[in-house]
Structure 1
Amino acid sequence: MRLSTKIMAGLGVLTLAATAAGCGKPASSGDSGGSGSSSSKSISACMVLDTGGVDDHSFNQASWAGLQAASKANSSIKSSYVSSNSQNDYTPNLTTETNKGCDTVIAVGGLMSDAVKKVAKANPKQHYAEIDSSSSGSNVYGLQYNTAQGGFLGGYLAAGMSKTGTVATYGGLNIPPVTIYMDGFWEGVQYYNKQKNKSVKVLGWDETKPKAGTFAQSFTDQNKGKAITQAFEQQGADVVFPVAGGTGLGSGAAAEASGGKLMLIWVDTDGCESASQYCKYFLSSVTKGLTKSTQEYAEAAAKGSFPSGNYVGTLKNGGTGLAPYHDWESKIPSDLQSEIKQVASGIEDGSITITSQSQPTS
């Protein structure tokens, strides 16, 4: 049985207890109507994307896929999105969607938290949801993901597959939704070293020295991603974990240019689905349950009352994990695959402790 079958099975049982209905005007860009049937009242669910576009092969794309899935499953949900070209667009976009009469406005990305808090406070009767941030008010639903858990598995996998004894990771920006992955990856390597009496090095991040990490300062600059990855390769790394959205596609280009010397682990989504051109370089992907949790939020909202408070995705509920090994299924030693399953069980039952300060607390 593949690792992902166990870890991701929880996706099918994620539940959002609270539900609601409303009636509003859908935003005009990126409209997606559904074909399913439901007795729910019609609602408009409007998404404000972060920078990088709807086809960023990462968090924007996965979040929008969840809203599209909700519309397909329930024709009463009318979904739409608007893109942000820069952080200056956050407040105007959120305000515009609110004024259009959207029943719920879903913000994608923790960088939008200040803007969501401000707009939500000014519109207390409007429902909001924010991905990668905790709730900032009674009318804001927070969707968070403890991806340090999935990152831990990715780090253990990287350490176990490295032939040079050096692996690496880098981020788009030095923010908690990014560094939580890097913390988990780093801790996973340290745990492997302790269990195996090895000394695999991690370039680009040290959880104990958070100001010294490697960051592209972008989620879209593929050239920067390629340059960072090639610099890691020159320092001996043979497995790289980019936590940088579309910038990480540059790591795919670097792996391709390496002639097979570099292996990668993708982030947020299953890279063999979202960036299939580089699938043969992906050992696996550390996933974030964006699509499923977004879909369930919208479906819950259409049925009764809008969810409030916070959702936290974990290994146990399928909110994070490892994707299938795809092309590497037969190349990753069976012993290593078994060990990763055991590590996952240890994280779930609490016998393995993750110390990342970026982990959601609620």
Structure 2
Amino acid sequence: MEDTLTITARKAVLTGLAMVGATAILAGCGTAPSATSTKSAGKSSYVPCMVSDAGGFDDKSFNQLGLEGLESAASSIGATPKKVESADQTVYASNISSLVNQKCNLIITVGFLLADATKAAASANPSIDFATIDDSSTTADNVRPITFDTSQAAFLGGYAAAAYSKTGVVGTFGGAQIPTVTIFMDGFADGVAYYNSQKNKDVKVVGWDVDSQKGVFTGGFDAGTAAKQAAQTLIDQDADVILPVGGPIYQSAAQAAKTANASGKSIVLEGADSDTFETDPANSSLFLTSVEKGIAQATKAVVLDSAKGSFTNTPYVGTLKNDGVGIAPFHDYAKKIPSTLPAELDKIKAGIIDGSITVKSPAVSK
């Protein structure tokens, strides 16, 4: 493995679906908010609140992680949090308004798709603190973005997928085609390309083309027929490691994988956002690893900052360096992966942190 890799141009690898990583630039990176707090001796009058995206608070992914952070912070200060779940995009604005009317001190909106509704509400209510998870486009004095350079962690996930694959084909698909989804897919494909360049291999990526920014999407974040079919499309192309990106859609991918495995295949998944091995025991046997975002701890810290009067609009950006993103343990697959893989991933992580390996997703600039 080379110690230093600076990539300035993308190259097609076989099908053109894997590509060589480019320089990472992530503007406006704030340091991680402080997560320390002293438990309140009594009940706090501070009211922290949250609006989910359409995936719901039981998605075992980013909505659920956000809620865990909210509830943990509220518990530590003796506050009673409020939450409202969005059935679809048509209720974002009304859900935020309902929390404004309930005298919330901080309203956290979960997901890129709530950007417009959050911006309007923050402008109309300058005395209320707002925070956005996975949206860096909403900027105001009373809005703090909580974002993650997930391409860095997904790069590790892609490398691991390529190292594990028995068929020489791996895949990824998404829910909605938005930057917070495609940033995973870009990093995943870059990691596969890096594996190929270091090992002189030709592992293919199906489901996503970084150069054209085209691939397989379900059109939303619901588990169901579309998500299962998307996963099956990749399985039919011989992919044996699949990264579904989009909250509950992975649950349908798990169904497709189990059906394929019952017919003699050996399909594994990589989770997105949370360590899905831990959050979804019913499907844990399928997960090679997960590409994680530290949503819960970042959310908790932002709530605590706001509660103690230290709210800031400086964006928090989770990276490998500040442990805001990463990959989960290999759990049941720890003895099934190449023995050298953990050390290789540690070296790659160090290279990304020190800048000798650079990773960029086009989603970062959007």
Provide TM-score, normalisation by structure 1. 0.88
Cα offset for 1:360? 6.6
| Cα distance change on mapping 1:180 and 1:15 into 2, 3 Å | closer
The reply to whether residue 215 of structure 1 matches residue 217 of structure 2 is: yes
The reply to whether residue 304 of structure 1 matches residue 309 of structure 2 is: yes
2:161 aligned to which of 145, 151, 158: 158
The reply to whether residue 128 of structure 1 matches residue 130 of structure 2 is: yes
Whether the 8 Å CA contact 1:312–1:360 is kept in 2: the answer is no
2:171 matched residue in structure 1: 168
SS of 2:315's partner is strand
Whether the 8 Å CA contact 2:177–2:217 is kept in 1: the answer is yes
SS of 1:78's partner is coil
Runs of 4+ aligned structure 1 residues displaced above 3 Å come to 17-20, 35-41
| Cα distance change on mapping 1:360 and 1:293 into 2, 3 Å | farther
Cα offset for 1:178? 0.2
**Structure 2: which 5+ runs fail to align?**
1-30
| Cα distance change on mapping 1:74 and 1:303 into 2, 3 Å | same
The reply to whether residue 187 of structure 1 matches residue 190 of structure 2 is: yes
Alignment deviations for residues 266-323 of structure 1 (CA, whole Å, 9 cap, x no partner): 1000011222211111110000111000011111112222232210000111111001
> For 1:87 and 1:301, how far apart are their aligned partners in 2?
27
Q: Count residues in correspondence.
A: 332
Whether the 8 Å CA contact 1:169–1:242 is kept in 2: the answer is yes
- Alpha carbon RMSD of aligned pairs, Å? 2.0
> For 1:143 and 1:340, how far apart are their aligned partners in 2?
26
Alignment deviations for residues 18-50 of structure 1 (CA, whole Å, 9 cap, x no partner): 999xxxxxxxxxxxxxx9535895310010011
2:71 matched residue in structure 1: 68
1:284 matched residue in structure 2: 289
Cα offset for 1:69? 1.1
Higher mean C-alpha displacement, 213-222 vs 157-166 = 213-222
2:256 matched residue in structure 1: 254
1:119 aligned to which of 110, 118, 121: 121
Q: How does 1:196-207 map to 2 (within 5 A)?
A: 196-207=199-210
2:240 aligned to which of 232, 238, 246: 238
1:92 matched residue in structure 2: 94
Whether the 8 Å CA contact 2:54–2:88 is kept in 1: the answer is yes
Alignment deviations for residues 173-228 of structure 1 (CA, whole Å, 9 cap, x no partner): 11000000000001000111111111111001111111x21101121133322221
Whether the 8 Å CA contact 1:18–1:308 is kept in 2: the answer is no
Whether the 8 Å CA contact 2:225–2:252 is kept in 1: the answer is yes
> For 2:272 and 2:115, how far apart are their aligned partners in 1?
22
1:226 aligned to which of 225, 228, 231: 228
| Cα distance change on mapping 1:305 and 1:198 into 2, 3 Å | same
Partner letter of residue 221 of structure 2? F
2:150 aligned to which of 129, 142, 147: 147
Provide TM-score, normalisation by structure 2. 0.87
% identical equivalent positions: 42
2:321 matched residue in structure 1: 316
| Cα distance change on mapping 1:38 and 1:349 into 2, 3 Å | farther
> For 1:105 and 1:360, how far apart are their aligned partners in 2?
26
